[in-house]
Amino acid sequence: MKLISQVIKDSFTTATGTDYDIGRILWVISVVAGIAYAGFDLFYLRNKFDITQYGIGIGSLLAAGGAALWAKKDTEAK
């Protein structure tokens, strides 16, 4: 259990390991929301699942989050 909590903390903090990074937190929230919206569309609205559209959407979210973290990499505390 300690390993899981350490991995989660490392995922949300900067290189120092003590400061939480709003960019990483918002990135995870947007990806989880994208997955939830796809599930809502599939199970509640009974629309068919299109893997191509889902892949483009989730890929865009991941790429945008990665680009945002890369763009601010020089401003993080070391």
pLDDT tens string 2-50: 999 999 898 898 888 888 888 889 888 988 998 999 999 999 999 988 8
Lowest mean pLDDT among 40-49, 50-59, 68-77: 68-77
Question: Residue 78 pLDDT > 80, yes or no?
Answer: no
Question: Residue 76 pLDDT > 80, yes or no?
Answer: no
For the chain, give every domain's residue range. 23-72
pTM value is 0.75
Would you state the pLDDT for residue 43?
Answer: 93
Handedness of CA 34, 38, 40, 41 (dihedral sign): positive
Give the CA radius of gyration of the chain: 16
